[in-house]
Structure 1
C-alpha cells in the first residue's frame, strides 16, 4: 500500500448529511485551519487528528508533502465537455474571436494554413462567432474561396452546430445549388437563393469532413489533458464519446497514460454525422456504471436542439428582432418517446441536450410519455445546457429529480450573443442558478469545451457576477455565491455522476484528487470576483499523484 501525507493544508469544508445529497446541507462556508490529509492507494484515508494518528503507524517510505498553509479544493469535474474535439481543435486553425477578430483575420489564418499543406488537403478550423466580430458576419463561401481555391475548408462555429464551408468542400461532398434542406438542418442561402457556405445542424451530415486519424486523436488528447490538469480539472464528462474515443480511452487506461478520469456518454440517436449507439450498447449488455474509477460509462446522450447565439435553439417566442424565427427541433417527439423508453428499460441514464425553452418542453413531454417516469425520478436524468427554462420547467426538474447540467460558462463567453438572440427581458432568465437552488434542483456547471474555454473559474465567475465579457449583466437576481458556485463543479457534479460516495469532497473514502491554491478562492471571489478569472492552481493531484 502507498500512503501519502499532505501536511499544513487548509481543506475545503463541505458539510454532508447521511443521505449524501448535495443540497441536503449548505454549500461550503470556508476552509479548515492548517491540518493533515492522509491518502492511501489513491483515496483519502483520513483528515485532521485521525490523519496525524496514522503518521506514526505507516511503514518507512510514506511520502509527505508540506503545503505550507495552502488552500486545497477537490479536483474540479467538467460535467459537459468534448475532450477529443477539444484536442482536435488544438491542432486545427484557431479562428476564435480573440485570435481572429474579423472575417479578414479568419481568412488570413486560413491562407496561412493553406500555404503549409498540399492542394486538395482539407483545412479545418474552429471558433468563429459572428456576434463577436465587428462586422457581425460569418466567413462566407466566397470569402474562403478567395484564399483556398484548391483546398476544402470547413470552419466550425464556436457552438459546434454550424460549419462555414468553401466551394471545394461542397464539391468534394457532392453539394450543389439544388441541395434540399434535411429535416433538422439547413443550408443557408442569400437573398438571391444561392448557398452562402453556412451549414446548420443536421445538414452538417452532408459534409465529407474527415475524422482525425488515430495518431492525431491521441496527439490532440495529450494536449487536452495538459489543459485540463492545469485548470484543476480531474474528471471530464465526454458528452459525445465516439467509438474511436472509447478505444483510445481504453488503451490509455490500460497503459496508465490517463491524467484525468473520463465519464463517457454515448450518442443515442444519429445526428450531424454521429452514429446511433443506443442499440449497439444494449446489444453489448452495457448499462450505466460499467467501467472503473478511471473510465466509467454514464449513459446515452440525446441532442434536441442547437445553439442560442446561432439562433438554432428552438424558442417558444421568436428570436429578438424576428417575427417567425423559432429555431430548429432536431427530432420528432414520437421518436424520442420510443428511444427514452428503450434507454430507461436498459438501465442507461439520459443526458438530454436542450437549450431553448421549446426543446426543454419537448424533453419533458417525451419523458412523461415514455411510461418510465418512476425510473426517471430515481436515476438522475440530466438536461444538458438547460439554458432557458421556464418556471414550470424548474418545478418539474425539482419534482422529477432531473439535474440541470448548466453551461454557466456561456455567461462569460457567449452571454452577449444570448442577449442579441433573446433581447433584454428574456435574457435575464438564462442559466437561472439562484432559482435552481431555491427550488431544490441539483445543478452543475460546465463549459461545453471546446465551445467555450474549459477553465472552471470562468464559469464560477459567470455564476457569481452574471457578467459577460463586454460587461453586460444578465439577470443579477440569478447570481449565487462563490461557495455555491464552487459546489457546482465539486459536490454537485460528483452527485450528477452518481459518485457522491467517492468524489467531490475532501473526506475519508473520496478520491485523492486535489488542487492547491495560495489564496483562499472563496474570500477572493467574495471580495474581488474578477480576480477569479486569473486563478490557477499551484499544483494538482490525481489519486494522490501530482499531474500538474
Structure 2
C-alpha cells in the first residue's frame, strides 16, 4: 500500500521488522510502515518501506512486536477522567470502608482552604465494609467547613455533605426531581443523590474553565500512555467544556483527537436545543476537534444498579431501575436532532431504555429518511434477539463496554440474574449480524486501558474469575477492530483513521509483544511501548 505518485518521497519515520496489524478490509498483516508529515505513505514489506529512506529519516526497529492503528475509545469522559486524577481516589481495593473515605477527606481538608470544594470519586458501596453509601453525616464529620462531593464509581450516584447541599439550595424536605431520587432517613435528605438528582447538584460543583483545561491536559497524558489517540468525548461539564476543549487543542495541551458529544439530561435540554437551532451539526470541525452526536440520558447505571429494565431486578423484585426521560421526551429530541442533520445517541443500559432509543430512532427515520445516519446507542448493554434484529435493520451503531464485565460482572449476576447478565455486551452477536459495534471504556467509570478492554472482549471474565457467556467471546482481531476501525466508522472518519493504510493519518501504537502470538489469557499483560499521533512520537516508554 503506497501513496500513488510519491515513490521519490523520503519518509520522516520508517518502522520495520514487525507484525503490523493494518485492520484494513482484508485484516492484512505486513512488516513495515513509512510516514511523512502527518500521514502514512506506505504499509507493506521491509524492502519496499526502506526505499523511502532518506538522510533525515528516523528508523525504528519493531523487533517483531505488533504495530497497530491508534486506539479509539468511542465513549470516554476526558475532562472527568483528568479531574478525577486530581481528586481523592476512593476506589476498591485501596478503599475498603467509609472510615477509609472519612480519613482521606480529613487529610484533604487540612490542605484545602475553608469553603473550597473537596472532591472524591470511585467508591462502590457494595465493596465497602458497611455495605452502604457514605452520607451527609459521615462527610460532615470529616469536613464540616468544606463542601464535599463523592461520586460513585458509576457516576450516576453521588454523596454530599450538608455544606454541599446548602450550596445547591437543597432543603431537607426538597422534592425529588423528575427522573431522580434523593435518599432520605427519617424524612430528611441524607445527601445521597441518584440519577437526575445527582446531575442537577453537579452544576453547583462545576470546575472552572482553567481547571477544565488542566484536567484535560492530565487526561491527555494518561490516555496517550495507553495508546489512545482518539476519543469520542461523552461530556460532563456542558458548554464551558466545549470552549475549554477548543483552547486546550489550540494551546497543544491536548494532542488527542476529540469527537465531542453534545450532551444534556432532561432538566437541561436547552444546551442541546441551542446547538440544534444554531444550524451546526455533526461533523463540524477538524481532525483534532469535531462535533459528534447529540446525546441524551435515558436511564441509570448497570452497577448502581439504576438501569431501566423490562423485568424487575433479581436482587430486588420491587425495583426495575430509573428512567430519566419518557418515551415522548426521547422521541421529541431525537426526531428534531435527526431532522436537523445530527447524528443522535443516548445513554441506554437496561433493555427497557435500549428499546426506547431504538423506537425513537426508528420513528425519526420513518418520518425523515436519511442514508448513512450512523445513529448510536451508548453502552447498549442489555439486549435480546429482537433488539439485535431491530438494531441491524435500522443501521444503529452500539457502543459497548467489554471491560464492565470485569469490574461489575459479579454484580450483574446478582442484580439481573444469569439470563440477563449473559445477554449483556453481546459482541459476538454483533459481529455475526454484521453490526459495527465500536468499543469503549466509559472511563473514568472504569479503566481506560484499551488492551485490558480487548482482553475482556476476548475472555469475558469477572474480577472473581466468573465467565459470563463464553459464546459471546470474540477473536483478538475482532477486538482490535472494535477499538480502531469501528471507532472511526462511528464518527464518520474511517477514510481518515482506524487502519494502517497509505493516505490515512499517522496515528500508530507500538505494543510490547506480538498481539497475535500472545495467548488469550495474557493479552492484559501487553503494554504500550510507543504512541504516535500525526507522525509525532508523543509517548515513548523509557526503556525504548
TM-score, L = length of structure 2? 0.92
How far the C-alpha of 1:94 sits from its partner, in A, is 1.0
* Counterpart in the other structure of 1:96: 91
Q: Which moved more, 1:510-519 or 1:353-362?
A: 510-519
Deviation (angstroms), 1:248: 2.3
- Any gaps of 5 or more consecutive residues in structure 2? 1-8, 540-544
SS at match of 2:59: strand
Aligned match of 2:373: 379
Q: Over residues 287-314 of structure 1, what are the superposed CA-to-partner deviations in whole Å (9 max), with x where a residue is unaligned?
A: 1111111111112111111102112111
Question: Is the aligned partner of 1:505 residue 2:499?
Answer: yes
In 1, distance between residues paired with 2:336 and 2:210?
A: 36
Taking the aligned partners of 1:120 and 1:69, their CA distance within structure 2 comes to: 56
1:406, 1:446 within 8 Å by CA — same for their partners in 2? yes
Q: 1:57 to 1:489 in 2, by over 3 A?
A: closer
Among 533, 537, 543, the alignment partner of 2:528 is 537
Aligned match of 1:157 = 152
* Structure 1 pair 147–256 and aligned structure 2 pair: CA distance change class (3 A): closer
Residues in 1 aligned to 2:52 and 2:481: alpha-carbon distance in whole angstroms:
34
Cα pair distance change 1:7/1:339, threshold 3 Å: same
Contact 1:443-1:488 at 8 Å conserved across structures? yes
Q: Tell me which residue corresponds to 1:21.
A: none
Q: What is the correspondence of 1:225-304 to structure 2 with a 5 Å cutoff?
A: 225-240=220-235, 242-268=238-264, 270-271=266-267, 276-304=270-298
Q: 1:350 to 1:376 in 2, by over 3 A?
A: farther
Structure 2 residue 77 is the aligned partner of structure 1 residue 82: yes
> For 1:69-106, what per-residue CA distance to the aligned partner results, in whole angstroms no more than 9, with x for missing partners?
32101110010000001111111111111321221111
Matching residue of 2:15: 6
Identify the match of residue 34 of structure 2 among 38, 62, 75: 38
Question: Within the alignment, does 1:409 sit opposite 2:403 as a pair?
Answer: yes
Match of 1:424 in 2: 418
The correspondence of residues 300-319 of structure 1 with structure 2, limited to 5 A, is 300-319=294-313
1:421: how far off?
1.6
Matched residue of 1:522: which SS?
coil
Q: Is the 8 A contact 2:196 2:265 kept in 1?
A: no
Distance 1:209 1:517, change over 3 A: same
Please give the alpha-carbon distance, in whole angstroms, between the structure 2 residues aligned to 1:334 and 1:81: 28
Greater shift after overlay, 172-181 or 451-460?
172-181
Provide the residue aligned with 1:65 in structure 2: 60
Q: Secondary structure at the match of 1:68?
A: coil
Describe the shift of the 1:473–1:175 C-alpha distance in structure 2 as closer, same or farther (beyond 3 A).
same
Distance 1:414 1:281, change over 3 A: same
For 1:426-445, what aligned pairs fall within 5 Å after superposition? 426-445=420-439
Distance (Å, rounded) in 1 between the aligned partners of 2:273 and 2:176: 27
Q: Which of 193, 197, 200 pairs up with 2:191?
A: 197
1:37 to partner: Cα distance: 1.2
| Aligned positions, number | 528
Please list every run of 5 or more consecutive structure 1 residues that lacks an aligned counterpart in the other structure: 17-24
Q: 1:463 aligns with which of 423, 432, 457?
A: 457
Contact 2:18 2:64 in 1 (8 A): yes
Are the equivalent residues in 2 in contact too, given 1:235–1:262 (CA < 8 A)?
yes
Distance 1:419 1:116 in 2: 42
Deviations 1:403-434 (A, max 9, x none): 11001111112222222221233211111111
**For residues 450 and 207 of structure 1, what CA distance do their matches in structure 2 show?**
16
- 1:496 corresponding residue in structure 2: 490
* Residue pair 2:458, 2:520 contacting (<8 A) in 1 also: no
Residue 15 of structure 1 deviates from its aligned partner by 4.2
Q: Distance in 1 between matches of 2:211 and 2:60?
A: 37
**TM-score, normalising length: structure 1:** 0.91
Between 91-100 and 208-217, report the one with greater CA deviation.
208-217
Question: How much has 1:55 moved relative to structure 2?
Answer: 5.1
Q: Say if 1:304 and 1:329, in contact at 8 Å, map to a contact too.
A: yes
Change (3 A) 1:448 1:103: same
User: Equivalent residue of 1:308, what SS?
Assistant: coil
- Deviation, structure 1 residue 150: 2.0
Task: Name the SS of the counterpart of 1:237 in structure 2.
Answer: strand
Q: Are the structure 2 counterparts of residues 44 and 195 from structure 1 closer, same or farther at C-alpha, using a change threshold of 3 Å? A: same
Deviation of 1:206 after TM superposition, in Å, equals: 4.0
Distance (whole Å) between structure 1 residues aligned to residue 265 and residue 169 of structure 2: 24
Q: Tell me how far 1:136 sits from its aligned partner.
A: 2.1
